[in-house]
């Protein structure tokens, strides 16, 4: 049942009268404050590493103030949008503080977007400035040719970058040189002020613009630091794109903990293992595809390290086989769950006492669940999507996962209908179908659009994928619905085999699943080859569904 909401206390109540908010007892929460603190507390400690570059907290703070000052001098005001197109480099981190510190809104763009999509984001978000890395000049130039806006375009100078054409009117370092390193930035007026704009990676039509506020970013950053055990002696490697949910708010969480940021332009196994060894990296994040890259990296890339590395993964349920393989290499995996609309991580699979004594296979299956609410999220529930009523906690009844709390977006920019639909029943509806276990842990069974209904029976694509990942020759797998004249739909598996693995055919894959699942859940067709992915490593199932509907999508039909 919903908790009753009492009316507010009257103005003359003893706990209201003469007890007001003042500058002494109330300051709007903002993640910008984390950098201000560190510049005072640890001015000479290294805050950011990038190749041969080492930036102290004092220098980081000064550079962010220079950027804020220079943007303000060029007319960026409270409520304006500043877009940035950059990989995981110091300029991207600096923008995460300088822009919100002005009361402006940061729009971190997906670096995989084409010119048309970039132009849509710039126009829809009404960007006033675009800071861009020369590596992405072709797409940015195409976007600038399409957009109807006049923009200040700034080219980033990155000595570790591959270079490229310049499309702007000023370089990033020249812009900072004209800024004031002691600039007193105004900050937000209210913690509900908009801080960031992020565009969802929609599969059809234009993406929706998700708006974050300062309070949510501050709280989610603290929740991440707490849940992921970050401390001032931690070293965080940037394998997760900073444009993705503002780096799941780790752009601020790492700073909140006083930890060191280690930038990485590209996610490559050799570079990751090298950074772990050279910088004694203690933490990193990434989609399951990043974990898979590390598990299947060439032997010569797998450098030894003598300490435990914490890895947080999310974006899809990590197969338990991948968790097992990561732990065997010296990584400790934490499973997170979230969406762009929830500032990234909203849930984690918090380990319970006694799990460590379980057999690895059983422990990995428990760890692969989405789990419970993050410390800074109010509540989660699995509920009937039509009524909002919670489903039984029996581990079997399916419902929609819903979230509520201060770390949920303000809404979709200029899209009130979509916002109202997302917040129906007083919860944020995720679109993920899940069960609620008796221990209170949530386990996602599928996206509502990914569930397969065969002969009237529901088949979880994730359950079939979990089975496929346990085949010794399978490196990656995805399962989607394929039209079937008799059953309506049947599961179709798309499989990438491990390099050097013994060859297998569709019949063997199907037989493997039939031996471990109810027969109606086993794939009726198998297609071998690489899987299409987004820039954040998510498998693009909508493309696979299109392929499954074509005659060649049924290639490799088995039993």
Does residue 199 register a pLDDT over 90?
yes
Alpha carbon dihedral 151, 157, 162, 163, in 10-degree steps, equals 60
pLDDT computed for residue 487 by the predictor:
81
Instruction: Determine the Cα angle at 315 with ends 459 and 523, to 5°.
Output: 25
This prediction has a pTM of 0.86
Contacts of residue 529, Cβ cutoff 8 Å, sequence gap at least 6: 494, 496
Instruction: Find the DSSP H helices in 185-228.
Output: 214-227
Phi, psi angles (nearest 5°) of residue 488: 85, -60
pLDDT computed for residue 3 by the predictor:
67
**Distance of alpha carbon 307 from alpha carbon 281, whole angstroms:** 9
400 sits in which H/E element: strand 399-404
Each residue's pLDDT tens digit, 394-420: 999 999 999 999 999 999 999 999 999
Contact predicate 165/134, CB 8 Å: yes
CA distances in angstroms from 26 to 21, 103, 135, 137, listed in the order given:
6, 18, 44, 44
pLDDT computed for residue 106 by the predictor:
99
pLDDT computed for residue 191 by the predictor:
98
Contact predicate 553/523, CB 8 Å: no
Does residue 557 register a pLDDT over 50?
no
Contacts of residue 461, Cβ cutoff 8 Å, sequence gap at least 6: 446, 450, 451, 452, 478, 479, 480, 491, 541
**Distance of alpha carbon 372 from alpha carbon 331, whole angstroms:** 22
Q: Which two tokens stand for residue 300?
A: 């010569």
pLDDT computed for residue 203 by the predictor:
42
Half-sphere exposure of 478 (CA within 13 A, CB side): 25
pLDDT computed for residue 559 by the predictor:
35
**Distance of alpha carbon 451 from alpha carbon 140, whole angstroms:** 37
The model's confidence at residue 204, banded by pLDDT at 50, 70 and 90, is very low
Q: Of 341, 340, 342, 346, which Cα lies nearest the Cα of 312?
A: 346
| SS3 at position 326 | helix
Does residue 148 register a pLDDT over 90?
no
Q: Average pLDDT of 2-25?
A: 91
pLDDT computed for residue 273 by the predictor:
97
Q: To the nearest whole percent, how much of the chain has pLDDT over 90?
A: 77
Does residue 456 register a pLDDT over 80?
no
Q: Which two tokens stand for residue 158?
A: 């990155």
């Amino acid at each position: 049942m919903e908790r009753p909401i009492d009316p507010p206390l009257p103005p003359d109540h003893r706990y209201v009268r003469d007890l007001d908010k003042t500058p002494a007892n109330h300051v709007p929460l903002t993640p910008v404050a984390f950098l201000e603190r560190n510049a005072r507390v640890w001015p000479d400690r290294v805050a950011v590493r990038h190749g041969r570059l080492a930036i102290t907290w004092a220098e980081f703070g000064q550079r962010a103030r220079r950027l804020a000052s220079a943007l303000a001098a060029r007319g960026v005001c409270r409520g304006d949008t500043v877009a940035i197109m950059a990989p995981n480099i110091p300029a991207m981190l600096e923008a995460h503080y300088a822009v919100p510190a002005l009361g402006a809104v940061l729009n971190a763009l997906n670096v995989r977007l084409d010119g048309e999509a970039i132009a849509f984001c710039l126009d829809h978000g009404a960007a006033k400035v675009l800071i861009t890395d020369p590596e992405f000049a072709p797409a940015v130039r195409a976007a600038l040719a399409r957009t109807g806006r006049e923009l200040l375009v700034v080219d980033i100078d990155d000595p570790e970058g591959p270079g490229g054409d310049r499309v702007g009117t000023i370089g990033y370092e020249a812009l900072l040189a004209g800024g004031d390193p002691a600039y007193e930035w105004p900050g937000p007026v209210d913690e509900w002020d908009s801080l960031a704009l992020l565009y969802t990676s929609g599969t059809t039509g234009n993406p929706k613009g998700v708006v974050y506020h300062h309070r949510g970013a501050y709280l989610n950053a603290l929740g991440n630091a707490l849940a992921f055990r970050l401390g001032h002696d931690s070293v965080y490697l940037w394998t997760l794109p900073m444009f993705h949910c503002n780096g799941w708010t780790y752009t601020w969480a790492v700073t909140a903990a006083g930890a060191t940021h280690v930038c990485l332009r590209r996610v490559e196994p050799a570079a990751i293992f090298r950074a772990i060894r050279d910088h004694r990296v203690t933490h990193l994040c990434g989609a399951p595809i990043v974990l898979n890259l590390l598990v299947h990296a060439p032997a010569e890339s797998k450098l030894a390290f003598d300490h435990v590395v914490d890895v947080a993964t999310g974006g899809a349920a990590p197969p338990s086989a991948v968790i097992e393989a990561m732990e065997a290499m010296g990584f400790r995996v934490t499973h997170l769950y979230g969406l762009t609309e929830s500032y990234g991580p909203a849930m984690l699979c918090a380990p319970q006492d006694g799990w460590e004594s379980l057999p690895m296979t059983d422990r990995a299956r428990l760890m692969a669940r989405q789990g419970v609410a993050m410390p800074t999220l109010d509540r989660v529930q699995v509920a009937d999507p039509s009524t909002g009523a919670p489903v039984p906690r029996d581990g079997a009844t399916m419902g929609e996962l819903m979230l509520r709390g201060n770390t949920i977006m303000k809404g979709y920019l200029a899209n009130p209908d979509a916002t109202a639909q997302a917040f129906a029943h007083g919860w944020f509806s995720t679109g993920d179908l899940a069960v609620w276990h008796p221990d209170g842990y949530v386990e996602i069974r599928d996206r509502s659009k990914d569930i397969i209904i065969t002969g009237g029976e529901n088949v979880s694509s994730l359950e079939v994928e979990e089975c496929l990942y346990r085949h010794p020759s399978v490196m990656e797998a995805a399962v989607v619905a394929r039209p079937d004249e008799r059953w309506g739909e049947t599961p179709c598996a798309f499989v990438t085999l491990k390099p050097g693995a013994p060859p297998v055919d569709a019949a063997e894959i199907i037989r493997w699943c039939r031996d471990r699942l109810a027969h109606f859940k086993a794939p009726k067709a198998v297609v071998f080859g690489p899987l299409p992915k987004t820039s954040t490593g998510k498998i693009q199932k909508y493309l696979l569904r299109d392929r499954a509907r074509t005659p060649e999508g049924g290639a490799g039909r088995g039993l």
